[in-house]
Chain A
């Protein structure tokens, strides 16, 4: 094993006869392997009256197959120290784990069984359903989640797949039947919607053979894809406030809808967002709200485009008495960058930072797996890590200015604010605090 990623990735890619896509990247860092299986089975594909179905399916899919009980799966994972994580987003469901290199064949076989032959035992559905209801109840008590979900709903509408909460609602979760899981699995889990990424201390050739043996015989018809429903961009400012007594801090979520990942303006938007709310401690937003005004521990923005127009979301957590000041500061920064664009120095620094970040994105096996999934999902190419610097180099000041002007208009912002009413917090309340804490 001599492969390193010093000069960029060199993944082996193969399309199996049934259409499944396999990517293998050898790394020599430690005797471990990350396996990540992804399907086009995210929340976009849920029936409209079963919001949260994909989330719930992700919690039950690994709890029993045609040949393995929940207990034997538990034993196989726990005996090897493996934590299998099944997660969903708007478009994809991804099952991934990291195991010792010596355990790779067994874990690959287990993962194959789980995604191909789940039986969704009724008792497991009930347990995981009850957990999900409890998690939704926890979210209802979390000002950050409440503000973020309310903003998504404002931006996209409560029925749009991008506007609904990933975990669904208690009412919809309570209605999911075993039959719904079986049907969703049958429709969405097929070789044609499947990408498997393997990264780590394996031989690419041997891993490719093992993966082929595990998945080659799988035949299942892929369902037709579903387009992201159209959205209506905001034409005026919208705001919603959620009162949560008993909390100490108010969470502000402020945002816009933007573009798709495949839009040619993507790189300009990426740089614009980095300047607004990422660079350093959190771009211009943190410089103003945290550094100059001392108002918040965190203030940042996140840009999350996908096959549909993703959101640009600004977040800050502030003292309830400072909400208006914080919103005014966000308006000021958004307005200024939208009107004037960045300075030459900001653009140069951001460009240099993003280009220089590429090796760090690939620091861990998990990081490489995520990068390869993204490249495959959006068709960016096997050499995307090597092309990325030149793509960022090519972005002009005019393009970044245009991106800022397109989106950053306080008059069209949507805001969701969750926390205690300004007068509710008394100065004499018992103090409690964080244990470990990061500066950034």
Chain B
């Protein structure tokens, strides 16, 4: 009788490190003939300096454009040959590349990731062509008023910390950066001692290790820059931002400074968010895509059920340093943003003053624990969670999440609500739609 694969089972994860510093995490899951390979780098837009915003993400794009041993034309189709899907993403603390394919692709996938780490080409004409692709990506984002507001609110919430600028970068930086800026950044950060390779699926652990050694072992260690980020000064007064633009729908967004993943406030805050807006879980690759269970959540009952908002959502993500906790509201047709904001703050203040009930906190904990199961429902998602938390927070964290959620008390949740959701810590943004010109 086969033992069912437990989605995130610490003893099931084999951890190793090559001499050049590359960390490797392997979990065997034999329920389907698939393997998911992710290569994670500890670099993201939070590591960028002024004038070079967006460089991490642009570098990510360039790393799909061919290597010494995989010419660009062969890059296309190399994963598809195994029925595979591939992608990558960049965010504030991390950049990652993934492939999920038939398990017979394992060796090829490791070869691709080793090539990506050491042998990117960065042809000048490819860099130029990608510049306009990324500007197009940025412009597509601008078409969405909620995303526009998100960028402005985030930039307003931070004075000093590099989490303030959007991962895609500011457009003037995208226009002015050069091929050498990209290549230099790539060479500094894409070294084995700044990376974690994650392999999950229908594989043999020792076989993965041997192959990883063969593909990555000869890549020399680098000296990845030590992460030194400005410390955000304490916010002492509410900040506001108003966007007035052509549109049909109004949006309100609140942001407060959030605890980093390792802060003792993190799990109480995660439970607080679940009680306010419904539990999303912690997998930013998959969990944030559908609506969470939220019909009993405080802000849903206060705003959606009362006809003031057509939707509400909250976002608390595990990050290396304190990012923001945001609550986003879409105004119901005909609702003034001032009324929506007032009703939302009224509901939040009630939580801060009178606290959540034990029943609400218990429900939030149950929701989160269920989401921790749902968000590891595939080899791809298990690999994401292993790599994400190892890269962003540190090894072992991911396995402690369930007990950490279990241990959160009502008092802790009410305490973080009082301390962290204070008015002087808040940034409030409005998107006020204007009539479209004929």
CB-based contact A293/B145 at 8 Å: no
In the complex, A381 has a CB within 8 A of chain B? no
From A73, A81, A294, give the contact of B367 (CB < 8 A). A81
CB-based contact A352/B1 at 8 Å: no
Specify which chain A residues have a CB less than 8 angstroms from the CB of B290 in the assembled complex.
Answer: 83, 85
CB-based contact A433/B168 at 8 Å: yes
Interface residues of chain B: helix, strand, loop or mixed (majority): mixed
From A30, A78, A352, give the contact of B295 (CB < 8 A). A78
**How far is the CB of B285 from the nearest CB of chain A, in Å?**
9
CB-based contact A247/B370 at 8 Å: no
Quick one: given A294-B128, A353-B80, A363-B34, are A432 and B296 in contact (CB under 8 Å)? no
Specify which chain B residues have a CB less than 8 angstroms from the CB of A357 in the assembled complex.
Answer: 83, 85
Specify which chain A residues have a CB less than 8 angstroms from the CB of B90 in the assembled complex.
Answer: 436-437
15 contacts between A and B (CB under 8 A): A2-B1, A5-B32, A78-B295, A83-B290, A131-B332, A134-B249, A134-B333, A138-B330, A141-B433, A142-B143, A247-B246, A248-B139, A433-B141, A433-B142, A433-B168
In the complex, A246 has a CB within 8 A of chain B? yes
**How far is the CB of A325 from the nearest CB of chain B, in Å?**
12
From A75, A244, A248, A356, give the contact of B102 (CB < 8 A). A356
Quick one: given A138-B248, A433-B168, are A4 and B77 in contact (CB under 8 Å)? no
CB-based contact B370/A82 at 8 Å: yes
Query: In this complex, what residue of A is CB-closest to B284?
Result: A436
From A1, A134, A293, A362, give the contact of B129 (CB < 8 A). A293
Inter-chain CA distance A27–B90, complex, in Å, is: 33
CB-based contact B31/A27 at 8 Å: yes
A residues with CB within 8 A of B: 1-2, 4-6, 27-32, 73-75, 77-83, 85, 98-100, 127, 130-131, 133-135, 137-138, 140-144, 201, 244-249, 251, 279-281, 287, 290-298, 317-319, 349, 352-360, 362-366, 431-440
In the complex, B69 has a CB within 8 A of chain A? no
Specify which chain B residues have a CB less than 8 angstroms from the CB of A296 in the assembled complex.
Answer: 133, 136
CB-based contact A249/B100 at 8 Å: no
Q: Which of B281-333 contact A (CB under 8 A)?
A: 284, 290-297, 304-305, 307, 310-311, 330-333
**How far is the CB of A424 from the nearest CB of chain B, in Å?**
9
Specify which chain A residues have a CB less than 8 angstroms from the CB of B374 in the assembled complex.
Answer: 32, 81, 98
Inter-chain CA distance A13–B139, complex, in Å, is: 49
Q: Report the stretch among B3-11, B212-220, B349-357, B389-397 that lies at the interface.
A: B3-11
**How far is the CB of A165 from the nearest CB of chain B, in Å?**
15
CB-based contact A281/B370 at 8 Å: no
Specify which chain B residues have a CB less than 8 angstroms from the CB of A142 in the assembled complex.
Answer: 143-144
CB-based contact A360/B34 at 8 Å: yes
Chain B 334-365 per-residue mask, 1 if CB under 8 angstroms from chain A, else 0: 00000000000000000000000000000100
Query: In this complex, what residue of A is CB-closest to B104?
Result: A356
CB-based contact B2/A28 at 8 Å: yes
CB-based contact A78/B128 at 8 Å: no
The 5 closest A-B pairs by CB, nearest first: A356-B83, A81-B370, A246-B246, A74-B295, A431-B171
The residue among B57, B128, B145, B293 with the most chain A CB atoms within 10 A of its own CB is B293
In the complex, B131 has a CB within 8 A of chain A? yes
**How far is the CB of B47 from the nearest CB of chain A, in Å?**
16
Specify which chain A residues have a CB less than 8 angstroms from the CB of B366 in the assembled complex.
Answer: 79-81
Specify which chain B residues have a CB less than 8 angstroms from the CB of A248 in the assembled complex.
Answer: 139-140, 142-143
Inter-chain CA distance A80–B310, complex, in Å, is: 24
**How far is the CB of A289 from the nearest CB of chain B, in Å?**
10
